[in-house]
Structure 1
Amino acid sequence: MRPEEHAFNGLDPLFTVNRACALDRGAPFPHSHANGILRYGRDPMGFKCGIVGLPNVGKSTLFNALTKTAAAQAANYPFCTIEPNTGEVAVPDPRMRKLADIAKSKEIIPTRISFVDIAGLVRGASKGEGLGNQFLANIREVDAVVHVLRCFEDDDITHVEGRINPVADAETIETELMLADLDSLERRTEQTRKRAGGKDKDSMAQLPIMEASLKLLQDGKPVRTLLSTLDAEELRILQGLNLLTAHPVLYVCNVAESDAVDGNEHTRAVAEMAKAQGAESVVISAAIESEVAQLPEEEAKEFLSALGLEEAGLDRLIRAGYKLLDLITYFTVGPKETRAWTIQRGTKAPQAAGVIHTDFERGFIRANTIAFEDYIALGGEVGAKEAGKARDEGKEYVVQDGDVIHFRFNT
């Protein structure tokens, strides 16, 4: 039977593959290695960030505010978060409303980001102290680490170390993660070295990566500093090692309401530390975000404006997360829905189609593509085609942020 050509652009009439199948949440997200980023998640509609921090730094308060839920118990004592709580929030993107207005879409479906509130960590976690074992297991399953640091003074909220020093707090957790990686890797490297001596091909390929990672850890450096030097195959091997310090890190400086606009000496110290590490940092007041989460949209805008803030902390956090993971968004647009899809920068068209469903990648023919700016300026698909701004791209096309794409594929 001759393969039948179909199309998908946000429920195009030609799209005949069963929609429930096409949006199957069980389909694995293609693990991307663009720009040295490891992708651990499987959700094709978002990415997962693990919120970590020492006890009583405000991470559960931040989680509750971001996900607008009280699922995490934000009590003032260590280890109140034992099992990870996961919440999803929509990624705000003002471009979607503009696209939907032109296409007269009935529904707008943004991409999502998942936050996992992971149990508070203390010194000694790498040896199982406190809730160390649960923490280490949970953090292995995320794409990035959102490290909440206490940058506020409050005599009513105890600090597990008895002082306010966010840089030292960051070093405490980083040290525990490096110690856990070191312990794991030392054992595995010795075993791999023996197998490599016996000419086992997989072990021979793994050994140089393991030894390079081990050297970094022994020198007190996280494995993520190695990522930019590896090629795609080496990154695949490193991903298989599932090392904690291979995750990219975003530092969130939790400040008092009075410091939400300009930060303070603590946030500036964290920013310097992050810059030296090639990491990102943002300043957020979890207390403000907690209040904003309870307000209707317009009231929330007025509340933030009165405080001198242009946007909610959620928006800043997501933008920083996108930058950290080198993520971009493309859109499928049609009369039924305008939908956003998350991919990593550098992803080619077939793999971008595979985020929607694996059948799209396997049977990929071409991607009719319109840049967001052209779609808006020319009044949509018809205007873009008339102006010669709608392009048929093949398998080697690298999808750009904001592309409006109509996929064609065989089944």
Structure 2
Amino acid sequence: MKIGIVGRPASGKTTLFQALCRGQAQVSHSREPVHGVVVVPDERFDLLVRLYNPKKISPATIDFVDDIARLGTERSRVFSDEAMGELRTTDAITYVIDAFDSGAPDAEAVRAEAMEFLEELSLRDLMIVEGRLERIAKQVRGPQAPAALKVEQDALEKVREALEAGRKVSDLDLPENEARAVAGFQLLAAKPVIFAVNVGEDHISDAPELLGPAMSALQDAGSPAFCLSAEIEKEVAQLPEEEQAEYLAGYGIQEPVRDRLIRSVYERCRLITFFTVSEKEVHAWPLPAGSTALDAADSIHSDLARGFIRAEVISWPDIRDAGGWDQAKAAGKLRLVGKEHVIEDGDCLYIRFKV
């Protein structure tokens, strides 16, 4: 899971990035983006680790990428083609809006900047889609045109129509073959976008009310937003874990930005987590919601999917209440399921396979 952090110059992108990485990532002095791997907080995983005390722990992680916007030097553009190309490789985008240098946060200014960015993503996609459609049109004129080109053309026509009408590309219900045909374009307008509105310390408590109209408008556009003070969050991230909650409470903040942003990413990307547990390793695996037992097996290793026989599944509440896998199994909570079984958030799995 790779999340790009972008925004206008001096909006607080790198400060937010440092808060997410707890100050452990180095600021780049080159033109290369900076990566910081952040552990996904999960109380279920923590309890499993305490139950099993394994030799190895593998929590779910997110790769946050900072300084994408510094790529390229194109005038009159906040984001160069090179920067947009880097953004295409991400799974989701966090856009940071500066609302701390102008006194009280301005809801209309925040809404306008956010909508401008969403329009920019659509325009960049439209340029690529139209260029590709022009090339395809020259190739499909003859009777021997490959069927795959026709599928791609049909899919891109639908994408173009949605982009021109201002509709969300992610809402297109494309047939599986058409979805595969456009997947390689890594469309920016299809990626989840989360807006982080960076406000001053003096307005951290009243910002949600002041920016309410903007937040509602962005939510209606399919892009959630939340307020934060990047400076406060950076300071908090460098405190010992046991002191963070008290420090945040002093500002009326209930949880660190890391938790809020990661939760938003999981919700917008429609991700769940399943677990594999043993005394050797406790591992948390992110998985798209609606995935099957076969998909889960493949995410662990392709051999497990290739030789899949059955999956043993115990739900998280049953593991928790029984005190472990063996205890839950003895209580009759284990289910044997086939490859089409849909995995639920928190399920613990053991894959039976033979290659």
**2:262 match:** 318
Displacement of 1:295 after TM fit?
Answer: 1.0
How far did residue 265 of structure 1 move?
5.3
C-alpha spacing 1:97/1:219, structure 2 compared with 1 (3 Å): closer
- Does 2:159 correspond to 1:213? yes
Q: CA deviation at 1:154?
A: 5.1
Name whichever of 80-89 and 357-366 sits farther off.
80-89
Segment drifting more, 208-217 vs 231-240: 231-240
Q: Compute the displacement of 1:178 (Å).
A: 2.3
Q: Is the 8 A contact 1:54 1:169 kept in 2?
A: no
Cα deviation 1:130-170 (Å, max 9, x = unaligned):
55122111111001111111222358xxxxxxx98222222
- Size of the alignment, in residue pairs? 348
Mapped pair 1:302 → 2:246: yes
Question: Partner amino acid for 2:298?
Answer: G
Amino acid at match of 2:148: D
| 1:152 pairs with one of 97, 100, 110 | 100
Letter in 1 for 2:126: L
Q: Please, which of 63, 68, 75 is the counterpart of residue 114 of structure 1?
A: 63
1:340 has 2:284 as partner: yes
Give the Å deviation of 1:317.
Answer: 0.4
C-alpha contact 2:25 2:35 (8 A) present in aligned 1: no
Query: What amino acid is the match of 1:295?
Result: L
What percentage of aligned pairs have identical amino acids? 38
CA 1:235–1:81 in structure 2 vs 1: closer, same or farther (change >3 Å)?
farther
Give the Cα–Cα distance (whole angstroms) in 2 for the partners of residues 264 and 340 of structure 1.
33
Kindly tell me: are residues 144 and 81 of structure 1, through their superposed partners in 2, closer, same or farther at Cα, counting changes over 3 Å? farther
Asked if structure 2 preserves the Cα contact closer than 8 Å seen for 1:178 and 1:222, the reply is no
Match status 1:143 vs 2:97? no
Does 1:71 pair with 2:26? yes
Contact 1:150 1:164 survives alignment (8 Å): no
**Cα separation, 2, equivalents of 1:319 and 1:130:** 28
What aligned pairs does 1:74-93 form with structure 2 within 5 A after superposition? 82-93=31-42
What SS does structure 1 have at the residue aligned with 2:238? coil
The separation in 2 between residues aligned to 1:83 and 1:172, in whole angstroms, is 26
Shift of 1:262: 4.7
For residues 333-355 of structure 1, give each alpha carbon's deviation from its aligned partner in whole angstroms, at most 9, with x where no partner exists.
11133211111101111221221
In 2, Cα distance between equivalents of 1:314 and 1:268:
22
Equivalent residue for 2:12? 58
Q: Work out the CA distance in 2 between the residues paired with 1:96 and 1:131.
A: 38
- Tell me how far apart the structure 2 counterparts of residues 370 and 276 of structure 1 sit (CA, whole Å): 37
Offset, 1:195: 2.6
Structure 2 distance, partners of 1:261, 1:389, is 46
Q: What is the CA–CA distance in structure 1 between the aligned matches of 2:319 and 2:216, rounded to whole Å?
A: 40
1:269–1:148 CA distance, 2 compared to 1 (3 A): farther
Give the superposition deviation at 1:382.
2.2
User: How far does the alpha carbon of each residue in 1:63-104 deviate from its partner, in whole angstroms, 9 at most, with x for none?
Assistant: 11111335235xxxxxx8842111110000011122223334
Partner SS for 2:69: coil
Q: Contact conserved, 2:31 with 2:70, CA < 8 A, in 1?
A: no
- Summarize deviations over 1:6-59 as a string: whole Å, max 9, x none: xxxxxxxxxxxxxxxxxxxxxxxxxxxxxxxxxxxxxxxxx1111111111111
CA contact (8 A) 2:328 2:334 kept: yes
Q: Does the residue aligned with 1:114 lie in a helix, a strand or coil?
A: strand
Distance 2:203 2:337 in 1: 48
Flag structure 1 segments of 5+ consecutive residues without an equivalent: 1-46, 74-79, 156-162
Check whether the contact 2:4–2:87 (CA below 8 A) recurs between aligned residues: yes
Tell me the equivalent position of 1:403.
347
CA distance change for structure 1 residues 166 and 401 in 2, over 3 Å: closer, same or farther?
A: same
Which residue of 1 is the match for residue 130 of structure 2?
A: 186
Matches within 5 A, 1:276-287: 276-287=220-231
Q: Return the alpha-carbon distance in structure 2 between the equivalents of residues 215 and 91 of structure 1.
A: 37
Q: Deviations over 1:149-200 (max 9, x none)?
A: 1222358xxxxxxx98222222332233222222222111122233333332
2:49 is the alignment partner of 1:100: yes
The answer on whether the counterparts of 2:6 and 2:69 sit within 8 Å (CA) in structure 1 is yes
In the TM superposition, what is the alpha-carbon distance from 1:278 to its structure 2 partner? 1.9
**Counterpart contact for 2:111–2:218, Cα < 8 Å:** no
Q: Which has the higher contact order (CA 8 A, sep 6+)?
A: 1
Distance (Å, rounded) in 2 between the aligned partners of 1:389 and 1:56: 53
Q: Which runs of 4+ in 1 moved over 4 A?
A: none
| Of 167, 170, 173, the match for 2:117 | 173
Partner of 2:68: helix, strand, or coil?
Answer: coil
1:257 to 201, 220, 223: 201
Say if 2:343 is the partner of 1:367: no
Structure 2 counterpart of 1:394, from 323, 331, 338: 338
Provide the aligned C-alpha RMSD in A.
Answer: 2.5
Structure 2 segments unaligned to the other structure (5+ residues): none
The whole-number CA distance in structure 2 between the counterparts of 1:409 and 1:213 is 40
CA spacing shift, 1:112–1:349, aligned 2, 3 Å: same
